[in-house]
């Protein structure tokens, strides 16, 4: 399976998680950065970066930003800066949730990365979650 197919599958997992966490699509404002977005709308640019998924419940009580990364992607400076930008944004919103979707082989790396990156935002109520094909783990 090519990297784009893997990435698409990881984004699909983000959408499923958002529906479970925030409610079904009729009560959900969901924007994903795909070739054909769910409702034709792409996520907003946040601190210079476009997330793979931006979702809020309706009426808005929580905001979820999701990012899909392969194992190789997790080890780049771009990913670190991008995730920090999303965590900074969510730290300023009530009930912020950051979800990182990764392949099963990258779960430990993703959890370690999120633990490091969320340290400056510990006063915020932002939840961070890593999902793989098997489970969702709150970090």
Parallel/antiparallel/unpaired status of strands 63-68 and 53-57: antiparallel
CA 102 to chain CA centroid, nearest Å: 10
Give the pLDDT confidence of 47-82 residue by residue, as tens digits: 999 999 999 988 888 999 999 999 999 999 999 999
The pLDDT, as a whole number, for residue 27 is: 78
**CA nearest neighbour of 5 among 34, 37, 31:** 34
Give the pLDDT confidence of 16-31 residue by residue, as tens digits: 999 888 876 667 888 8
103: pLDDT strictly greater than 60: yes
Question: 47 near 88, Cβ under 8 Å?
Answer: yes
User: What domains does the chain contain, in order, with CATH numbers?
Assistant: 3-138 (3.40.1350.60)
């Amino acid at each position: 399976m090519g990297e784009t197919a893997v990435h698409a599958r990881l984004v699909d997992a983000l959408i499923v998680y958002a529906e479970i966490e925030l409610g079904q699509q009729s009560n959900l404002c969901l924007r994903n950065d795909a070739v054909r977005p769910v409702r034709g709308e792409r996520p907003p640019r946040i601190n210079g970066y476009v997330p793979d998924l931006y979702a809020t419940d309706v009426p808005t009580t929580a905001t979820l930003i999701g990012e899909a990364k392969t194992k190789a992607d997790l080890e780049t400076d771009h990913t670190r800066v991008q995730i920090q930008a999303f965590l900074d944004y969510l730290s300023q919103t009530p009930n912020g949730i950051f979800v990182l979707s990764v392949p099963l082989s990258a779960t430990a790396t993703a959890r370690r990365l999120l633990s490091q990156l969320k340290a400056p935002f510990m006063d915020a109520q932002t939840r961070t979650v890593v999902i793989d094909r098997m489970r969702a783990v709150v970090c």
